[in-house]
Amino acid sequence: MENLQPTNNAARDLPAEAVLMARIREQGEELKTLQAKVAAHLQAGFQRPFSAVPQAEIKD
């Protein structure tokens, strides 16, 4: 596992910080993509007209 302890060597730490920031941005983009996919699936599920729901799916 990476050593994430703070150090006094700022010049050496800059590349590592840039790598971490890039990872954070990448994960943020992945999260946005997943959120959009979930929203689309939920929206598609609720757009089906009630009359199109098979009777077997309707629970009394």
Q: Inform me whether the pLDDT recorded for 23 exceeds 90.
A: yes
pTM equals: 0.48
Which residues have a Cβ under 8 Å from the Cβ of 7 and sit 6 or more positions away?
13
Which is higher by pLDDT, 26 or 9? 26
pLDDT band at 42 (very low <50, low <70, confident <90, very high): confident
For residues 39 and 34, what is the distance between their CA atoms, to the nearest angstrom? 9
Averaged pLDDT, 22-38:
94
Look at residue 47 in the predicted model and tell me its pLDDT: 64
Residue whose entry in the numeric block shows the structure tokens 């590592």: 16
Name the DSSP class of 8.
Answer: S
